[in-house]
Amino acid sequence: MMLVRLAQSIGNALRGFWFVIAHEQNFRLLSGMSVLLLAGGVLFRITARDFALLIVVIVLVLVLEMINSAFEYFLDLLKPRLMPHVGIVKDIIAGAVLLSVVGACLVGGIIFWPYIIGAL
């Protein structure tokens, strides 16, 4: 019984993941950029520690984008015209995603800079 519930939970999570991929352009864009970064890590043969850090920041950005999408779908039920704070909440969560992207870019720059300089 417990394995059945676990399988159902995983199925629900995967359905949500595939929904975001299918319907959210920003998630697809960030996912594509993530693949390029990971490929760059392989190409430059970055250290395991740097690769792990790269994975952590990528996952952070993608998770926040998924949370942003969930908030937006939920808040769309309320409509800004009915609840004026809806737009503010959407802007705040989008700002959180933007902040995570900026942080990830900084981390990526710190990781890749020595490899890029060494390749020149």
pLDDT score recorded for residue 59: 97
Report the pLDDT value the prediction gives residue 106, as an integer from 0 to 100.
97
**34-85: pLDDT as tens digits:** 999 999 999 999 999 999 999 999 999 999 999 999 999 998 887 766 777 8
Give the pLDDT score at 80. Answer: 67
Identify whether the C-beta of residue 67 lies closer than 8 Å to the C-beta of residue 93: yes
What mean pLDDT, rounded, does the chain reach?
93
- Over residues 94-118, the mean pLDDT reads 95
Residue 34 · residue 88 · CB < 8 Å: no
* DSSP per-residue letters across the chain: -HHHHHHHHHHHHHHHHHHHHHH-HHHHHHHHHHHHHHHHHHHTT--HHHHHHHHHHHHHHHHHHHHHHHHHHHHTTT-TTT-THHHHHHHHHHHHHHHHHHHHHHHHHHHHHHHHHHH-
Chain center to CA of 85? 25
pLDDT of residue 51: 96
Structure tokens at 43: 């190409």
pLDDT average, residue stretch 10-15 = 95
Residue range 86-115: mean pLDDT, rounded: 94
Q: Between 40 and 118, where is the model more confident?
A: 40
pLDDT for 79 equals 72
For the chain, what percent of residues have pLDDT higher than 70?
Answer: 98
What is the per-residue pLDDT for 85?
84
